[in-house]
Amino acid sequence: MIGIIGMKKGMTSYFNESGQQIQCTVIEAGPCHVTHVKTEETDGYNAVQLAFHDKKDKSVSAGMKGHFKRAGVSPKRELVEFRDFDLEANLGDTVEADIFDEGDLVSVVGTSKGKGFQGVVKRYNFRGVGDATHGQHNRQRAPGAIGMASTPSKVLKGQRMAGRTGGRRVTIQNLEIAKIIKDKNLILIKGAVPGHKGSYVIIHQK
C-alpha cells in the first residue's frame, strides 16, 4: 500500500489533453513526514506513520513533542498510520504527491459534511406519505408506519428513521487522478470526495 495525507481545498474544472472538461476535487497532498516506522520484529506488523500540517508548539503535549523530536520534524496536526507501506521510508523522510501517477485509481477517506438532525426524506430519500390533498396537511414528508402489529409488537432495531445525518467516516473507491501538480503538491481527483473545504483526507492505493 502507498498513501498520503491531504487537505481538501475545493473543486474546479480541468481540461484534459483531448479538450474534455472534467470536474475535479483539488487536494493539497503533503508534504508528509515519516514520524514512526513499525516492523515485524518490534511491533508484530509493518507500518509507517505519516504526519501532515504544522501545529503550534503550545498545543502539543510533552510526550508528543518528544515523538516529533525523535523523528527530527516540527509538531504536526494530523497523524495517520499506513500498514505495509510499499516505499522505503525512514524517520524524517518526506512523502510528497509524486508517489502517485496521473491516471492512477485511488481510494479517498474523509469525514462527510454534517447536516444535523434530518427527516427521512432527506436522510434516506423516502418519498413521503400520500398526496398533498384530500384533507392532508402534515403528512407529505412523514415516514409512514414503523410498527409491526401485535407480533412482534415493537419497532425493529435498524429501522430507518429521522436522525443525525452526515459527519461520518466515508471511503470512496476507484477515483481517478486527473492531474498532479508536483511543485505545489496538488492532486486533482476526478469527481467529489467526502468532507468540507479544509478537512483532512487520506489518499491510498493498494
pTM, two decimal places: 0.84
pLDDT, tens digit, for every residue of 104-159? Answer: 899 999 999 999 999 999 999 998 887 777 777 778 888 988 888 888 888 999 99
Kindly state the cell numbers that stand for 156.
425493529
Q: What are the E-state strand segments in the chain? A: 2-15, 21-29, 32-38, 47-54, 76-83, 94-95, 105-111, 116-118, 163-165, 169-181, 186-190, 200-205
Name the segment(s) of the chain with CATH classification 2.40.30.10: 2-114+170-205
Fold for 2-114+170-205, please state it: Elongation Factor Tu (Ef-tu); domain 3 (2.40.30)
